[in-house]
Amino acid sequence: MKGLKFILAGIIFGIIMTKSEAVSWYRIQEMFRFQSFQMYGIIGTAVALGVGMVLLMKITGFTDFHGNYIVFHPKEKGVKRYLFGGIVFGLGWALCGACPGPMFVSLGMGYFTMLLVIGGALLGTFLYGLMRSKLPH
């Protein structure tokens, strides 16, 4: 089955996020209070390795398993959407202690009230779709 590898990647992601406690509301509070290195270490290590990886892929013309060159699309330029959108995201992230990935990982852990968070996130995404043309980007 072609999709199995994505399910497997997701399973590994879920296990890592749980076992390093990155899905924890408490850990997000600790991060925003600058009281531990854990979250910074996780994101920092991933980014440091990621920068090297992307650079190497660009230099060597790395191909994916279909044999296509891996193309990195630059993000659209701008400030407003990233800053304002980011702030709204951050307000929610600190309040419910979960960004989109961890919402679903926590649900798997048996925190069924995460369904309220997920429902809210879907509603938020839908509202953005409705209001998009009226927002600064």
Partner 1 sequence: MLEFISQPWPWYLSGFMIALIMFALLFFGKTFGFSSNLRTICAMSGAGKASDFFQFDWKKQTWNLLFLMGSVIGGFIAHTFMNNDQPVAISDDTIADLKTLGFKVQKGLQPDEIFNTFTLKSVLILITGGLFVGFGSRWAGGCTSGHAISGLSNLQLPSLIAVVGFFIGGLIMTHLLFPIIFNSPGAL
Q: What residues between 18 and 77 interact with partner 1 by CB under 8 A?
A: 18-33, 35-51, 53-54, 57, 64-66, 68, 70, 72, 74-77
In the complex, minimum distance from the CB of residue 27 to partner 1, in angstroms, rounded to a whole number: 6
Is 63 strand, coil or helix? Answer: strand
- Residues 68 and 125: beta-carbon distance below 8 Å: no
64: left (phi over 0), alpha (psi -120 to 50) or beta: beta
Looking at the Cβ atoms of 59 and 72, the one nearer to partner 1 is 72
Report the chain's C-alpha Rg in angstroms: 18
Q: Which listed residue (59, 60, 61, 87) binds partner 1 by CB under 8 A?
A: 87
Does 134 participate in binding partner 1 (rule CB under 8 A)?
no
Query: 98-117: which residues touch partner 1 (CB under 8 A)?
Result: 98-101, 103-111, 113-114, 116-117
In the complex, minimum distance from the CB of residue 59 to partner 1, in angstroms, rounded to a whole number: 14
Counting runs of H as helices and runs of E as strands, what totals does the chain give? 6, 0
Q: Which listed residue (59, 60, 61, 129) binds partner 1 by CB under 8 A?
A: 129
Q: How many CB atoms lie within 10 A of CB 111?
A: 15
